[in-house]
Structure 1
Amino acid sequence: MASKLFIAALFMVALLSASDVFAKEQKKPEEPKKPKEVKCHGKLYKYTCTGKYTCPDQCAHTCMMDCNMCKPVCNCNKPGGVCEDPRFIGGDGIMFYFHGKKDQNFCLVSDSDLHINAHFIGKRGEGMGRDFTWVQSIGVLFNGNHQLFLGANKVSSWDDSVEQLAIALDGKTIQLPNQEGATLSLSPFNLTIVRSDTANAVTVEVENKFMITARVVPITPEESRIHNYGITSESGDCFAHLELGFKFYSLSPHVTGVLGQTYAAEYRSPIKLGVAMPVVGGEANYVTSNLFATDCKVARFGSPNNNNDIKDFSIVDLNCAGRPGGRGMVCRR
């Protein structure tokens, strides 16, 4: 009897040992990573911060280029960005302004098979010789003569939950469910539209061509006060406009346009580094007669290309020292 109990005890010990080994072999569930924190002292976009912080909503969900101090924890200063009074981050990673003029259209990108214009809205600053301007809408010509429209509605007062982003393809209005992640795929156009928030934000991608992130934002009273725009709640117009991010998968070395030229093979930025507000002019070269016109002086849409000249920016990942890089970005010194 004793021997049977001894054998049973040995068997139980063996089972427990085996279960311990099995448990050790099982991977422990990974704990969620804590957001990266950095110390912050000074004024950031629309607010002042001190102490440790993670990427603030103002940087994560509005202008992705206006938060240099946030760069350790935020997705900032990405090439292809357009926002504010229009501020651009070129394909070379250098920031510049192009003010244009209110109520006019300007060519942002022009290549043999892609053309993007922007309609500017704005108001004259008190005592200033130029307009404050913002990009209200863009018109994209692609895959022949297909026309994609993205635009901000004119509104007097702002409500984040109310959709103010208008989308149309070849003149037909496109609507998405007011649900983050809602997706519409249009196979004949190789076009996919994804809602990146419950309202006012989408990502649009044409396979092997481009990806555009667009968000409608207003001029807030606080922003107006800081920049002296003169826009108040009594103005009757909060100047809703687009904040944009562009990624290009295939451009020729001869691409032009306010933004497009910065991706061209021979482009060298005229901007002097360290200038507080570097401005690129030449409005007369980029102005177009309407949102889908290709009649600017630098237009290349529809021109023949040597296929050997096409640069595919989607093949490799590149990084600029000191600047965030990414797929589809060109980095130069």
Structure 2
Amino acid sequence: MEHVCPNACPGGCEVDCNTCKPVCKCDKPGAVCQDPRFIGGDGITFYFHGKKNNNFCLVSDTNLHINARFIGKRNHNMKRDFTWVQSIAILFDNQQLFLGAKKTATWDDSVDRLALSLNGEPIRLNQLEGAKWESSGVSIIRETSTNNIIVEVEGKFRITAKVVPITEEDSRIHNYGITKDDCFAHLDLGFKFFSLSNEVSGVLGQTYKPNYVSRVNIGAKMPIMGGGKEYETTSLFSPDCSVARFKGNNEFNDDIVMVEDLALPSLSCTSGIDGEGVVCRR
């Protein structure tokens, strides 16, 4: 049976096997697209704007942690930035996987703007539809010859990632103020998880808890998830947001966090111990 993507799916669609109908990729549970618009594991749509040039924890579980770096522009008529997800860091076991959109001025979809690395080593993926790369349990396949991939770690997760620009039409409709020197290339993402625990947290992760009750106003025109501070991390590869659950497969997680050029904050604990890099525990 041949299907046609709905007009509302500029980023592509997938066939839902239960209904046998095409569904926009950005309308499925686990989607993180646009400004950024989330579809939670509970099916509820919400927005989390974060802050430009900052990093936020999307998912944090005992052996899986996903951070996102937000880029954006200040809207002087509002009290927030316009933001988009420029890159993500995925921590699992003792591995670090990076997916990012390269900065570009004028968009040309025939030019690949994906940046990929595993444990600090660049991943070079042939620019052919269906090209596949595998190493250390990670599999990456190109859905199209450029800018569109599927990343999978068996038994843990599957992620679709597509690099997309802010078009002149998008900028005009939403008043983004995008200029020709930077089209704010960013990622449209789709997450599917296979082994989350009941303690999972993070902006998106918490929505997969069995008894999760959404705290957004679902009746609002733009339901917004707040709590930016509790999800913020000190760097893209740091699982140190206040709701972090990540331990990895190492008891003390010594090899997971990249500490180069990381300015550790100064904290004071109720025990009286303080100083740079101190972690308070209760």
Same fold (TM over 0.5): yes
Post-superposition offset of 1:194: 0.2
Cα distance change on mapping 1:229 and 1:113 into 2, 3 Å:
same
Q: Which residue of 2 aligns with 1:291?
A: 236
Contact 1:60–1:74 (8 Å) recurs in 2: no
Question: TM-score w.r.t. structure 1 length?
Answer: 0.70
Post-superposition offset of 1:276: 1.0
The reply on whether 1:190 has 2:140 as its aligned counterpart is no
Cα distance change on mapping 1:58 and 1:177 into 2, 3 Å:
farther
Q: Which residue of 2 aligns with 1:82?
A: 32
Q: What aligned pairs does 1:142-181 form with structure 2 within 5 A after superposition? A: 142-143=92-93, 145-181=94-130
Q: Letter of the aligned partner of 1:182 in structure 2?
A: A
Q: Secondary structure at the match of 1:229?
A: coil
The reply on whether 1:131 has 2:81 as its aligned counterpart is yes
The reply on whether 1:231 has 2:178 as its aligned counterpart is yes
- 2:154, 2:79 → 1: CA distance? 43
Q: Tell me the alpha carbon deviations over residues 77-127 of structure 1, each in whole angstroms, 9 at most, x when there is no partner.
A: 211000111110000000000000000000000000000000000001132
- 2:215, 2:141 → 1: CA distance? 36
- 1:83, 1:248 → 2: CA distance? 17
Cα distance change on mapping 1:183 and 1:126 into 2, 3 Å:
same
Q: Tell me the alpha carbon deviations over residues 293-327 of structure 1, each in whole angstroms, 9 at most, x when there is no partner.
A: 011100000189xxxxxxxxxxxxxxxxxxxxxxx
Q: Tell me the alpha carbon deviations over residues 251-279 of structure 1, each in whole angstroms, 9 at most, x when there is no partner.
A: 00000000000011231112333321000
Structure 1 residue runs without a partner (length 5+) = 1-32, 36-53, 66-70, 305-333
Q: Which residue of 2 aligns with 1:19?
A: none
Contact 2:61–2:246 (8 Å) recurs in 1: yes
The reply on whether 1:112 has 2:62 as its aligned counterpart is yes
Comparing 147-156 with 120-129, greater Cα deviation is found at: 120-129
Q: 2:72 aligns with which of 108, 122, 129?
A: 122
Q: Secondary structure at the match of 2:9?
A: helix
Q: Which residue of 1 aligns with 2:260?
A: none
Q: What aligned pairs does 1:158-307 form with structure 2 within 5 A after superposition? A: 158-186=107-135, 189-233=136-180, 236-302=181-247
- 2:246, 2:171 → 1: CA distance? 37
Q: Tell me the alpha carbon deviations over residues 227-263 of structure 1, each in whole angstroms, 9 at most, x when there is no partner.
A: 1101132xx1110000000000000000000000001
Q: Letter of the aligned partner of 1:166 in structure 2?
A: A
Identity of aligned residues (%): 58
Q: Secondary structure at the match of 2:199?
A: coil
- 2:210, 2:237 → 1: CA distance? 26
Q: Which has a greater percent of helix?
A: 1
- 1:80, 1:34 → 2: CA distance? 25
Q: Secondary structure at the match of 1:261?
A: helix
- 2:216, 2:78 → 1: CA distance? 23
Post-superposition offset of 1:184: 1.1
Cα distance change on mapping 1:225 and 1:252 into 2, 3 Å:
same
Q: Letter of the aligned partner of 1:115 in structure 2?
A: H
Contact 1:254–1:265 (8 Å) recurs in 2: no
Q: Tell me the alpha carbon deviations over residues 149-177 of structure 1, each in whole angstroms, 9 at most, x when there is no partner.
A: 00000111110000100000000000111
Q: Letter of the aligned partner of 1:192 in structure 2?
A: S
The reply on whether 1:61 has 2:11 as its aligned counterpart is yes
- 2:98, 2:151 → 1: CA distance? 11
Q: Tell me the alpha carbon deviations over residues 210-236 of structure 1, each in whole angstroms, 9 at most, x when there is no partner.
A: 000000000000010011101132xx1
Equivalent residue pairs, number: 243
